[in-house]
Each structure stands twice: as structure tokens, then as C-alpha cells.
Structure 1
């Protein structure tokens, strides 16, 4: 029997019977896959730790008739610190729901995995503001999953910046400068401060190596969090259960 080695993070788990479960993994080489973890619900199982939600593990699998079968697994990171805070944990679970809903059905989702792992790392280490990480994850994931906004310049004149400021449409995902704005545009466009626009452009266009290397003023960060969520809900069908729960805390 040929075994396949891959690393992945558990983004969903479903109990099957009393002892087994099926896990959905975001992997480094096969996109999102389903795998059977036999006996993983038993406390003494060798798979119990490595197949828990939000656990990043190295897996040894083989192909079954309907899905992969996990033969062995080794924990690489369980992000223990974020599990100690209900808001951090709920934020992480929300990230998993976004991954499940927005990721394209492709075998190479290594960029999505890298984004998720790095965001969870900063959340777990409390090295970045939670709302800033949430906005960053939402915008970058949307851009990677076919919902990239056009922040290069005004959609009418092409201007990169405008003395009067720029406006952004969460519905259309584009920019409009105040010089080109018309009376009927007011309800569809949101005014952006220079700092907010710079932060959005950084999140969307920067190389991944520099993605987390920026800071914003608290007021800008709060505006970024609101706008990123608004853009997400406008571009998708909404109905994110984990987001609703997070906002109820």
C-alpha cells in the first residue's frame, strides 16, 4: 500500500459513530481534502491530538474508495494560546469558515494555507491587533479567491490619488476620485482616508513576505475592519455563522 505524505490544518471535523470522524484538511499539496480518521474520538487514539480542529499536522494517508484514510499523524502546531480566549478562538473558527466557503476547488491552495497559518500565528502570539488581522485575512483571502478589488486608480479617470480624496464601492470593488464623483454616486461609495487606502493597497498588492509588516492608527484600523467586512458581505452571499457568533460576543 502506497502512503502519501502531506501537511495540513483541520478546517472541519464530523464525528462518525462513536469512535471515528471525518476531517477536512487544507493541505500543502492537494488543496482541500476529506480524510477518515478511524478511532480518532477515543482518548487513547494516536490520532486524537493531530486531527482536532485548528490543528496543523503532518499526515500519512492512503487513498480509500471515497476519501483518504489517515494512517498516522504528527502534530506540528495546535495554536494553544488562542484557545484560551473565546474571542480569539471564535475569530480563528471564522477564518476556517471563510476558507471553506471562499477557497476555489483547486489542488494548489498553498497560498491559502500560508495565509491561514501566518494569521493564526500572529493571533496566537498576540503580536497584532485582532481586528486588524481579521480585516487583513478577509481582504487578502477575497483577493486570492477571485474577489480582488481594483485599488489601482479611479475607475473613471485612472488617477492613483486625488487631492480631494478617494471613494470606494463595496458593491463594485473599485475606486472613484472625488473629482469624478457625481451626485448619484454618494450612496454606493465610501470615503477613504489616505491611511485607510494605503492599508488596503498594502493588504491586496504587497508581496506575502511583507504582508503583515504594517501598522495603522487605531481609528484607521477600526475603519479598515468595518470596510473589509462590508466588502466581504457585499461580494459573497453572506450567512457566515461563525461571524454572527463572533459579533454576538
Structure 2
């Protein structure tokens, strides 16, 4: 029968996006381990009388009872598991998390469950780290960007030089090709730079996006690539390398998914504002 309830589910999910509809409704984008990222219509969720107003907020990890009618999921009940309330009190942290949600939505298309369980675990671990301030926001952001890229199939090859095949030692300075996701030793990098310089003069085109990577940053990137999601932040990096690490991981994921985000630009604006005040 048209309009009949086809399926009812109880799932735990993280609300990674919300679209306001009408005066009191929301369309939620919920990341679940079983079904991937799914759209859920929450009627009346914004009403002050709604019994699930808190549990349907952005960034809330909730237990949801949903039902499917037609081709859409609808919310029946919602109970909060973790609201990550402390993050909401700090503008820079809240802005950072909004950017992370945008990355999540980009690499996790709706209704595609493959890899969703790992991405949900990564998001939850990252949110707990942001909330408890176990690492600096810059360090957490960079580690999240690289791990999200890896889980999404954009893992860089950090073991050896892509041109000559020689292993890259822990003490060697190297270069990372942001588009190809490959390393080059210093000798091959210098050779390529000369070739590209000649080509650029002939064609008036810019050279490939390449970043010089210090041994300390390469070591951190290798740790993240090989670590479990539970332990991906369990590394140390000296403060003087944080800026390089942050800019490298940011440039890498943006190059791999071929886009940037307004939420990322907003977070950088907040960081600049905070830096000028202190």
C-alpha cells in the first residue's frame, strides 16, 4: 500500500549535517556503521516542545529509531548517547568540527555503507580528542585529514621514492607529490624540479603541487598511516613542526578530493583572529 511503513530500524548514528526545513523540521544526515550516511527527516525536531530536540542536534551521537516510508527515512524516537557539549562552547573548536563533518560528507556518499564503520569510529575518536584537548586542534585536524584520506582510498605511498625505488630513510628530507600521493628522494626531486622549470618556461604553466616534507613530519605521517583508528593520535611531534604537518595534510586531502571548503576557510579566519589577539 502506498505510504505504508516498509522498515523500522534502531541504530546509533552521528549527526554530521542538518538542513532546516519550515519552522520546526530538520533533514538530518546521520553517519551509521551499518547503513553508511543516511538522510533522516525529523518532523518538529526544532520545536522547544520536541522530546528529541537535543538528540537531533548537529554533532550529537544518538540512538535513533527510524522507519522507512517510500524512499525516505523518518525519525520516530531519539536518545542522546554523547552530545560533545564542551565543543559547542568554543568557537574555534566548533568551527573545526564543522569542517571535519564537511570532509566526512565528501568522502562518505549517502547510502553507501562501505567503509562507514571505520569513518564513524574515526569521527567519534576525533571528537573525543577535540573535546578533551589531548592534542592541539592543529595536530588533531592534520591527523584526521590524513587518516580520513587513507580510509577513503587516498593513501599516499610513504615507503619509497616513486621514481628510483630507493627506500626513504627516517632522517632524509623528501618531497610529497600532493596529486600523485607519492614521495621522491631529494635527488629525484631536484632532477624533476629542473625538468619542470624548463617545461614551465616553455608552456607558461605552473609546476605540479609538491611539498617538502621534513623527517619529523614524514615520521608522523607514517605512524598515522600504519596505526589503528583507536591509536591514530598516539604520536608526538615537536611544536616547531606542527605548522608544516598541518599545512601538508590539509593540502594533501584537498588535492586528493579536488576541492576546498568554506568551513575550512572560516576556521583559518578564526585562527588568524585568535593569533592577532594573543
TM-score, scaled relative to structure 2: 0.84
The answer on whether the counterparts of 1:164 and 1:179 sit within 8 Å (CA) in structure 2 is no
**Residue 35 of structure 2 corresponds to residue 30 of structure 1:** yes
Which stretches of structure 1, 4 residues or longer, exceed 4 Å deviation after superposition?
A: none
User: Is 1:175 aligned to 2:183, yes or no?
Assistant: yes
The residue correspondences of 1:91-106 to structure 2 (distance < 5 A) are 91-104=96-109, 106=112
Q: Structure 2 residue aligned with 1:116, among 117, 123, 128?
A: 123
Shift of 1:175: 0.5
1:225 matched residue in structure 2: 246
Aligned length: 249
The equivalent of 1:151 in structure 2 is: 158
Following superposition of structure 1 onto structure 2, how do residues 120-199 of structure 1 map, counting pairs within 5 Å? 120-162=127-169, 164-185=172-193, 188=208, 189-199=210-220
Which residue is equivalent to 1:107? 113
Which stretch of the first structure deviates more once superposed, 161-170 or 208-217?
Answer: 161-170
Q: What TM-score do the two structures reach when normalised by structure 1?
A: 0.94
Distance in 2 between residues matched to 1:104 and 1:67, nearest whole Å: 16
Does the 8 A contact of 1:37 with 1:47 survive in 2?
A: no
Deviates more, 1:150-159 or 1:52-61: 150-159
**Alpha-carbon contact 2:37-2:109 (below 8 Å) kept:** no
2:56 is paired with a residue whose SS is: coil
Mapped to 2, the partners of 1:179 and 1:31 lie a distance apart of 44
Alpha-carbon distance in 2 for matches of 1:225, 1:50? 32
Unaligned runs of 5+ in 2: 195-206, 271-278
Question: What is the CA distance between 1:133 and its match in structure 2?
Answer: 0.5
Q: Which has the higher helix share?
A: 2
Q: What's the counterpart of residue 78 of structure 2?
A: 73
1:104 to partner: Cα distance: 4.5
Q: Which of the two has higher C-alpha Rg?
A: 2
Q: Does 1:205 align with 2:226?
A: yes
Q: Residues 164 and 52 of structure 1: is their aligned pair in 2 closer, same or farther, counting only changes over 3 Å?
A: closer
**SS of the counterpart of 1:5?**
strand
**Aligned-pair Cα RMSD in Å:** 1.7
Give, in whole Å, the separation in 1 of the partners of 2:99 and 2:189. 36
1:174-216: CA deviations, max 9, x gaps? 0111133343337643222211101011112222232121110
Structure 1 gap segments, 5+ residues each: none
